[in-house]
């Protein structure tokens, strides 16, 4: 089995704590012009609201999401640097091509 390239594996290990984080990141990347909240993420991905909120918070803490405060917290894919953006996009692309390979990089 091929492993992820070292920079992507390092990015995944550094910025993602769980498979849920990776799934939420992938959804946010794919719908990058849309603001997301935890209940909608939970419904879309079939996870608990708590897991969705934890993933969104993790990604925001790691400078991968922009936050907007309305009635709820809403998040959108908007990394703080172009390097973070390119690494996130490459990881999501790798995840879409080979989910188990990308999942292995975060220890799931």
Full 3-state SS string of the chain: CCCCCHHHHHHHHHHCCCHHHHHHHHHHHHCCCCCECHHHHHHHHCCCHHHHHHHHHHHHHCCCEEEEECCCEEEEECCCCHHHHHHHHHHHHHHHHCHHHHHHHCCC
Residue-averaged pLDDT of the chain: 92
For residue 42, is it within any domain?
Answer: yes
CATH number for the domain that contains residue 29: 1.10.10.10
1 pLDDT exceeds 70? no
Domain hosting 44: range is: 6-105
pLDDT of amino acid 105:
78
For residue 45, is it within any domain?
Answer: yes
For residue 1, is it within any domain?
Answer: no
pLDDT of amino acid 43:
97
- Note if the pTM is more than 0.75: yes
For residue 38, is it within any domain?
Answer: yes
């Amino acid at each position: 089995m091929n492993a992820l390239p070292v920079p992507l594996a390092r990015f995944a290990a550094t910025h993602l704590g769980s498979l849920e984080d990776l799934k939420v990141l992938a959804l946010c990347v794919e719908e990058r012009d849309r603001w997301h909240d935890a209940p909608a993420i939970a419904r879309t991905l079939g996870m608990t609201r708590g897991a969705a909120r934890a993933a969104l918070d993790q990604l925001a803490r790691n400078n991968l999401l922009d936050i907007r405060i309305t009635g709820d917290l809403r998040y959108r894919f908007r990394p703080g640097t172009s390097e973070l953006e390119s690494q996130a996009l490459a990881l999501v692309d790798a995840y879409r091509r080979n989910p188990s390979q990308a999942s292995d990089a975060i220890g799931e």
